Amino acid sequence: MFMSSLVARCRAIVLATLAASAAPAPAAIVGIDFGGGTTPQNWTPLHASPVPISLSNLPNDTGAPTTVDLTLAGAQPGDFSQDPSAGTIPTHAYSLAGIGEYWFGVGPMTATFSDLPPSSDFRVWVFGLRAFAMNNRVTIAGAGAPVTFDQVDLTPGNLWINGALGSSANSLLSYAQVHTSTAAGTITISWLEIPNLTAGWAIGGLAIEPAPAPATIPFAAAAALAVARRRRR
């Protein structure tokens, strides 16, 4: 009876631990909202001032400061306004409806997140938004092979997240691309217009957050369960 009770308690500990580790982590996204105006909670608004632009110690969307820095260089952008269509805004701990402006430009632009923990995984998001045809070719590069995707849409106000049209039925997390920072602690996002399509690109925002390691059963809980099972034999 005692051993059965011990096994049951150990199993309960393990299951509770797994359930807790599987729960969504608190929001800790560092977000940049191009164009300024309204912004998602604690995202940094960025007007189209002359480039290059350097930002330091950006806050995450809980309001906590971070060590994350950002440098932008390339084509000179302009600020434009367009509220995203509600049906294309994914769910998040804090509303993303504030992404209501964007940068428009012609020619290559590069955004480099730096002062990241080196050789660490990060979730990355690039938001495409435009008041007319969208025409973005985006590349994300870190320690691994670069990933390139297109954001092409003829419907004004559609919000794209990485390589897909957004949907209010999906979470922001479902659109994340995971990239590993370089040994120097950087992840670079670059974009330009796709040749032979509507001139110019339009980017509404960028976001990045640490990607937690896969959940594992804590050693103590797993060991207790193993010992209890051995004692039952």
pLDDT reported for residue 26: 46
| Closest to 168 (Cα-Cα) out of 98, 96, 89, 92 | 89
pLDDT reported for residue 222: 46
Domain positions in the chain are 1-25+215-233, 27-211
- Right CATH for 27-211 from 2.60.40.10, 3.30.300.30, 1.20.120.530, 2.60.120.430: 2.60.120.430
How far apart, in Å, are the Cα atoms of 147 and each of 54, 169, 177, 221? 24, 25, 9, 39
pLDDT reported for residue 204: 97
Contact 127, 103 (CB under 8 A): no
| Closest to 116 (Cα-Cα) out of 51, 52, 70, 173 | 70
pLDDT reported for residue 161: 98
Tens of pLDDT, residue by residue, the chain (233 residues): 544 554 455 555 444 444 444 444 445 899 999 997 889 999 999 999 899 999 999 999 999 999 999 999 999 999 999 999 999 999 999 999 999 899 999 999 999 999 999 999 999 999 999 999 999 999 999 999 999 999 999 999 999 999 999 999 999 999 999 999 999 999 999 999 998 877 899 999 999 999 987 654 444 444 444 444 555 45
Token pair of 93, please?
């701990």
pTM above 0.85, yes or no: no
Token pair of 79, please?
């600020």
pLDDT reported for residue 212: 85
Contact 126, 161 (CB under 8 A): yes
Token pair of 58, please?
């950006």
